[in-house]
């Protein structure tokens, strides 16, 4: 007798071993039809996902996984990746398959083929996938011996797949999945049959090195997306279309903000308009420092390699550190600011009465990121952080974390982000420090979020080896998530670098170090701002506040006078005195997303007024220069 406990606590008994599919059928034919997999838990074991054909031969807990379950959606996508490989092999038998994992919102599969796949190829492949799905072929799991699997894949010319199997640890079993004429290596689980795969679309093809190593062959990576319903996929594709319009790289060129070029991979050339945006962000954050007890500092760009070894960065991060040499000494170009901040703290002996000490720096860092991972301003090699470090006692941890979260919420709201997701990453398996200290640190982070009214998720084991952290993720105007700010508790680096303070008993103690950033990388955050606002930055951030356009030559002097007056009041204004038609001027400046366009002709000159058009083609009518300046000042001061 086998007893199955369902998620609602009810129990079902079967006379002997039973498959997941049979349990689903016993509950209802509708559930059996929708079942994609099972989540089974045997006594004393962790839950695991299994195929519907999996046989349960002893008492267990079981949840039937459908497309409504997040795990079910992942299974759909993984199975669709295999369907893609199946279709490619049907159309291009000489292609070799490699790997095809699930990624956010979809999947990809890497292939080795003698020529590049074209957009026309993708259309054919997708059509073949639809054809294969409609066949509703069973997807069957098979257990193989390692040697047999290697021999099989080598015999059919799948050398990459054979190499993967050879790299799997000997103690792990080899499982293959067969659907029709196609067989592939996979741990699974997969959908019971291809007929479950109904909503998918291939999106693009790109290059990818085998095993991510630039010394290996360049493969072709086909990206796709898959969903449970057509409505979900349509919404996602619409979001992608909107995201393409908002791409910061495209808008950066069109609005004259910045550019990047081959001679400086992963580095940014800021144009005057883009650097104006940068300055507004920096000056805002500088005021945040002043208002919240931070002392602004500046540490060196390069430090002797011995210091990076002492902190542990060289052991764990060497491949990302740019190095240079002078007079037989090796130096590391800083990838982060923390060691320099500890040196400033160590320059004097501090009393407990001085703590917490909060340092802030707009620290320029460089990291040797792989060229394939670079992406506009979102992933660069040179960047500036709004980096801060707080040196405090353990008793001050919770207050500092709560204050930081409240501050971060205000900053994000000022930039137009009102929805924040919170995650606490707790102790990893490999860590330093006692459990007692970790308990205190994790509790401090969680309680600090609770004090500020924040619901949060816990990510077990995802903290750094030296301490737990809170990650703050923003949701933008089209629903995308951006992991941005963070605060990390560090018990390690202060001790490694000899940081100390004198406590109330005149004893020397090691402070706790909080690593914190609100914006993270300026470059990435400005890229996020551009995309969130579709290039139409709010007035306080916009490179230009207003452009004054003359209708004809007689009003040109008046237009210049108005622009000069606005500049003297501290506004970013310019005049357009070209002899072009006013409709063209308005169109061009509208495309540049200038917040206000002021139009002046003979009538406005005689009356000392301006005709005001706001962004979006909104006609605000005629007003005095003073009235307009008051309106603009209100936009800036309220960060509207």
The catalytic residues are: 338, 367, 385, 387, 389, 469, 515
Rg (CA), the chain: 30
**Phi and psi angles of residue 139, each rounded to the nearest 5 degrees, phi first:** -105, 110
Task: Please give the Cα distance from 200 to 206 (Å, whole number).
Answer: 18
CB 359 within 8 A of CB 318: no
Q: Where are the beta strands (DSSP E) in 239-282?
A: 258-259, 269-270
∠ CA 434-440-446, rounded to 5°: 135
How far apart, in whole angstroms, are the C-alpha atoms of residue 630 and residue 636?
10
**Residue 65, Cα to own-chain centre: how many angstroms?**
28
**Other beta carbons within 10 Å of 541:** 23
What does the alpha-carbon distance between residue 75 and residue 213 come to, in Å, rounded to a whole number?
28
Q: Give the whole-angstrom CA distance, residue 155 versus residue 139.
A: 22
Name, in order, each residue with C-beta under 8 angstroms of 197's C-beta and a sequence gap of 6 or more: 76, 79, 80, 83, 129, 133, 191, 226
Coil/strand/helix, residue 105? coil
Residues 6+ apart with CB under 8 A from 309: 315
Q: Please give the structure tokens belonging to residue 95.
A: 């292609």
DSSP 375: B
Q: Which residue has the tokens 């291809």?
A: 194
β-pairing verdict for 2-5 and 596-600: unpaired
CA gap 168, 189 in Å, rounded: 18
**Residues 19, 53: contact at Cβ < 8 Å?**
yes
The encoded tokens of residue 181 equal 């004429």
CA distance 528 to 268: 15
Q: How far is CA 53 from the centre of its chain?
A: 37
Q: Using an 8 Å Cβ cutoff, are 519 and 525 in contact?
A: yes
Euclidean distance between CA atoms 598 and 608, whole angstroms: 13
Letter string b/e over residues 379-393, b meaning 16 or more CB atoms within 10 A of that residue's CB: bbbbbbbbbbbbbbe
User: What stretches of 450-605 adopt beta strand conformation (E)?
Assistant: 456-459, 469-475, 481-490, 501-502, 508-509, 512-521, 546-550, 573-576, 596-600
Taking the C-alpha atoms of residue 289 and residue 297, their distance in angstroms, rounded to an integer, is 11
* Chain centroid to CA 208: 20
């Amino acid at each position: 007798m086998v007893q199955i406990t369902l998620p609602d606590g009810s129990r079902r008994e079967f006379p002997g071993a039973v498959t997941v599919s049979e349990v689903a059928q016993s509950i209802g034919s509708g559930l059996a039809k929708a079942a994609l997999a099972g989540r089974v838990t045997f006594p004393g074991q962790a839950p695991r996902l299994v195929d519907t054909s999996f046989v349960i031969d002893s008492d267990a807990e079981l949840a039937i996984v459908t497309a409504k379950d997040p795990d079910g959606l992942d299974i759909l996508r993984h199975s669709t990746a295999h369907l893609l490989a199946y279709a490619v092999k049907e159309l291009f038998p000489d292609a070799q398959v490699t790997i095809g994992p699930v990624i956010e919102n979809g999947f990809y599969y890497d292939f080795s083929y003698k020529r590049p796949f074209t957009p026309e190829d993708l259309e054919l492949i997708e059509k073949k996938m639809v054809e294969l799905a409609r066949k509703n072929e069973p997807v069957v799991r098979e257990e193989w011996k390692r040697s047999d699997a290697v021999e099989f894949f080598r015999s059919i010319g799948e050398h990459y797949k054979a190499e993967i199997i050879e790299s799997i640890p000997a103690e792990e079993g080899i499982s293959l999945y067969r659907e029709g004429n196609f067989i592939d290596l996979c741990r699974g689980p997969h959908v019971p049959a291809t007929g479950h795969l109904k909503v998918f679309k291939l999106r693009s093809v790109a290059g990818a090195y085998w095993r991510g190593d630039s010394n290996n062959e360049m493969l072709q990576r086909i990206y796709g997306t898959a969903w449970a319903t057509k409505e979900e996929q349509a919404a996602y594709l619409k979001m992608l279309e909107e995201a393409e319009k908002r791409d910061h790289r495209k808008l950066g060129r069109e609005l004259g903000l910045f550019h990047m070029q081959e001679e400086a991979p992963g580095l940014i050339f800021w144009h005057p308009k883009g650097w104006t945006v940068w300055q507004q962000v920096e000056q805002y954050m500088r005021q945040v420092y002043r208002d919240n007890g931070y002392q602004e500092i500046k540490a060196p760009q390069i430090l002797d390699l011995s210091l990076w070894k002492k902190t542990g960065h060289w052991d764990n991060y060497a491949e990302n550190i740019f190095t240079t040499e002078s007079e037989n000494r090796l130096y590391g170009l800083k990838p982060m600011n923390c060691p320099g901040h500890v040196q400033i703290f160590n320059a004097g002996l501090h009393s407990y009465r001085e703590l917490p000490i909060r340092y802030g720096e707009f620290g320029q860092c460089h990291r040797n990121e792989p060229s394939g991972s670079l992406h506009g301003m979102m992933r660069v090699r040179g960047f500036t952080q709004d980096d801060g470090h707080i040196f405090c006692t353990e008793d001050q941890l919770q207050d500092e974390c709560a204050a930081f979260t409240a501050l971060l919420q205000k900053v994000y709201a000022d930039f137009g982000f009102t929805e924040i997701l919170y995650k606490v990453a707790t102790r990893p398996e490999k860590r330093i420090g006692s459990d007692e200290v970790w308990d205190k640190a994790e509790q401090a982070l969680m309680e600090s979020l609770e004090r500020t009214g924040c619901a949060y998720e816990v990510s077990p084991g995802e903290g750094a080896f030296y301490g737990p952290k809170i990650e703050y993720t923003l949701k933008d105007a089209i629903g995308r998530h951006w992991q941005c700010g963070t605060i990390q508790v560090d018990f390690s680096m202060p001790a490694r670098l000899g940081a100390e303070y004198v406590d109330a008993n005149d004893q020397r103690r090691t402070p706790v170090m909080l690593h914190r950033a609100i914006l993270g990388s300026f470059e990435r955050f400005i890229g996020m701002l551009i995309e969130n606002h579709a290039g139409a930055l709010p007035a306080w951030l916009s490179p230009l506040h207003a452009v004054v356009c003359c209708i004809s030559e007689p009003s040109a002097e008046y237009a210049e006078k108005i622009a000069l007056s606005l500049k003297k009041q501290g506004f970013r204004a310019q005049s357009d005195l070209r002899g072009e038609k006013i409709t063209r001027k308005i169109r061009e400046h509208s495309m540049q997303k200038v917040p206000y366009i002021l139009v002046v002709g003979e009538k406005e000159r005689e009356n000392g007024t301006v005709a005001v058009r706001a962004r979006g083609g909104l006609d605000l009518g005629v007003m005095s220069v003073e009235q307009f300046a008051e309106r603009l000042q209100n936009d800036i001061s309220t960060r509207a």
